[in-house]
Structure 1
Amino acid sequence: MRNRKWLLTASQRIFQYLRWLFLLIFCILLYAKVIEPNWIEIKSLQLTLPHLASEFNGYRIVQISDIHRDQWMNTRRLKHIVHLVNQQHPDLIAITGDLVTRNLPRLIPSLKPALEELTPRDRTVAVLGNHDHENDTKAIIKILKQSGVFDLNNTVYTLQRGNAILNIAGVDDVGMGKDRLDLVLQQLPLQGAAILLAHEPDFATTSAATARFDLQLSGHSHGGQIRLPFIKPLILPPWGEKYYSGEYEVGKMLLYTNRGVGMTGLHLRLFARPEITIFTLVPQTISN
């Protein structure tokens, strides 16, 4: 009789634990599905660039990445992101690839109404990502131009303040073999600070080795998108495994990897909030 009571009590406890475990898993999934994907972090950083001219002291760059226009990233969400970006009063807006999720060319035209509402003081510039090249790439580039966004793939855009210049360069997608850093270096002026946009962050090993760039801005990894706290994400994409989130120093070059605003796969985010990043640039002479 005593054994039967003990077994009954143990079974009740196990059942109770399983109920709590199920409730915990349900709450985590609810958070990852509904709350975190919509909980955009607006992160501000001050970066000291050794070659930045004093005329560009306080220059504000706002970066967004991995928009991934799809059924989840609808026009309402995208316009909200544009509104948040404009609220930061950017001098320049940098979009670091994956504007549309792969195999969704029908959604490309819907980028235009949102992108053309971006209001930087100078310009919006963009490079493409691997998902963009798995769509109608020519259509995406056409929409960028129609929206007033400068196509920065394998080229350089130079800003001028009096006699001082700031160079914004970009490479086309590395993972798809579209990057032509050699062409970028041919166009890059020898004077002035240089910032490189490259969708894949691990390209920093190559770009830093040239000693021509002060800063690289990237995306691609989504910060792991679904991860556990305090440890490296278990699943990361090729070219986004080493420098997957946040600020790094690669050689003498700074690198920042943005977690992106969109998602792929299960459309869940856990401990990898979507991100809009604001960079305030400071010359080394002033910061010292």
Structure 2
Amino acid sequence: MGFRLLFFVVFLFVIELYAFQAVKTVLKERWFLVAYGILSLAVLVYIVYSFSTFDRSVGQTHNTMFMMGLMLVVYVPKIVLAIVLLGEDIFRVGASVVNYCMYNSPRSEIMPDRRRFISQLGLGLAAIPFLSLLYGVTIGKYNYKVIKQRIFFPDLPDAFDGFKITQISDVHSGSFDNPEKINYAIDLINEQDSDMILFTGDIVNTHATEMHPWIETFKRIKKHEYGKYSVLGNHDYGEYVSWPTEADKAQNFKDIKDLYSQIDFKLLLNEHTFIERNDAKIALVGVENWGNNFKKAGDLNKASEALGEKDFKILMSHDPSHWDFEVKEHAKNFHLTFSGHTHGMQFGIEIPGYFKWSLAQYVYAQWAGLYEHLGRYVYVNRGFGFHAYPGRVGIMPEITVIELKKGDKVA
């Protein structure tokens, strides 16, 4: 831990040196450079102190999230700036070698000075992530979007043609800091007037107590005619902190499972239930978390026991890795899977219908929106809340509405 912290400090210090050189090249006023240096040093000391005193028995708090947001807002732009100046340094070193070897220049003239234009260019480029990340922590994290999708199935029971399902996922209630915005999001959920609502896990970051201030708020989600159902996410198991005893961890897990019933959701734990409408029925299957690199408590075979291949099945599985590794080619034919987990990394570029990009796509084959494989679908919700970085840039918090349609067409 000591070596990693030292490496981290040295890395940030080098970034600071490059950033200071760019600022000094463009703005030469002494008072400004002194103020900039003092402020930069204060931020660096605060971030290093926060990392060195992080309490793994507590986990993420509003203070640690503030620190993470501050670090990204400050240092991502400075890293961009450092890359630009590093490129200039490579050019300057190359020029100095040429000057020395070919022109026998005096030592004082070997290394060219920094060019003001390059520093201005670097500062301009750095302003893009700075303004984006600043937007993310002030506005983006509560910029809820309702995304509607219609999916066609040839074997959907006729009675369920037009059946509407709202999905939320990854609430991470321990991160919230604005009751007005959360109440606004709950109003958006209720406005969809869907037949059923599904919650695909991660009600907290770690501790059940994080949800206590928000129970009454989420109980405002109105009763849906065909039910309110949920499954667990990876954060619901309390795996990311150290516990005094295993009994404490077990009690927290029990309390987290109880939270879902306190907000009137039926928690499905490797089990299924039937949704009946006009003498027809579909199976709703819910598994515990199954992740390629996370908790593997999900048991799809147990959850779908006694279901046949021809039964129309909707699956809730928090991590889309499960669909990719097991669900999409399962012999029982799970028609539609609802997942979340990725958050779309809370950072990316998305132009609906045309283009979407995020670092999440290099980790997850299915990371945001609708995916299909041989007539089987998974929808990956971009998440209701936020975690670690207290903001969202490009990939906004999502309330999903899926309409099931009878037929062969995908719209």
TM range (shorter): 0.7 to 0.9
The structure with the greater share of residues assigned to helix is 2
Partner amino acid, structure 2, of 1:268: G
Query: Helix, strand or coil: the match of 2:233?
Result: coil
- When structure 1 is superposed on structure 2, of 205-214 and 253-262 the one drifting more is 205-214
Q: 1:53 to 1:105 in 2, by over 3 A?
A: same
Partner residue of 1:275? 398
8 Å CA contact 2:349–2:395 kept in 1: the answer is no
The structure with the greater share of residues assigned to strand is 1
Write out per-residue CA displacement over residues 52-103 of structure 1, whole angstroms, 9 at most, x where no aligned residue.
211111111001111111143554433322211000001101111111112x
* Corresponding position: 1:207 with 2:327: yes
Q: Which runs of 5+ in 1 are unaligned?
A: 1-6
* Greater length-normalized contact order (CA 8 Å, ≥ 6 residues apart): 1
**Distance in 2 of aligned mates of 1:77 and 1:18:** 36
Write out per-residue CA displacement over residues 128-149 of structure 1, whole angstroms, 9 at most, x where no aligned residue.
1000111722112212223221
8 Å CA contact 2:195–2:226 kept in 1: the answer is yes
Partner residue of 1:153? 269
Partner amino acid, structure 2, of 1:88: Q
Normalising by structure 2, we get a TM-score of 0.62
Partner amino acid, structure 1, of 2:261: K
Partner residue of 1:222? 343
Q: Which runs of 5+ in 2 are unaligned?
A: 1-111, 239-248
Percent identical = 27
Question: Which of 1 and 2 has greater Rg?
Answer: 2
How far has the Cα of 1:195 moved from its partner?
A: 0.3
* Corresponding position: 1:241 with 2:364: yes
Q: 1:254 to 1:236 in 2, by over 3 A?
A: closer
**Distance in 1 of aligned mates of 2:175 and 2:149:** 32
8 Å CA contact 2:344–2:360 kept in 1: the answer is no
Matches within 5 A, 1:1-288: 11-72=115-176, 74-102=178-206, 104-119=207-222, 120-134=224-238, 136-175=252-291, 176-188=295-307, 192-205=311-324, 206-208=326-328, 209-227=330-348, 232-234=357-359, 241-284=364-407
How far has the Cα of 1:192 moved from its partner?
A: 4.1
Q: 1:13 to 1:69 in 2, by over 3 A?
A: same
**Distance in 1 of aligned mates of 2:271 and 2:179:** 29
Aligned length: 278
Q: Calculate the aligned-residue CA RMSD, in Å.
A: 2.7
Query: Helix, strand or coil: the match of 1:267?
Result: coil
**Distance in 1 of aligned mates of 2:215 and 2:307:** 29
Partner amino acid, structure 2, of 1:181: L
Normalising by structure 1, we get a TM-score of 0.86
Partner amino acid, structure 2, of 1:129: G
Q: 1:234 to 1:146 in 2, by over 3 A?
A: closer
8 Å CA contact 2:168–2:199 kept in 1: the answer is yes
How far has the Cα of 1:263 moved from its partner?
A: 1.2
**Distance in 2 of aligned mates of 1:30 and 1:262:** 17
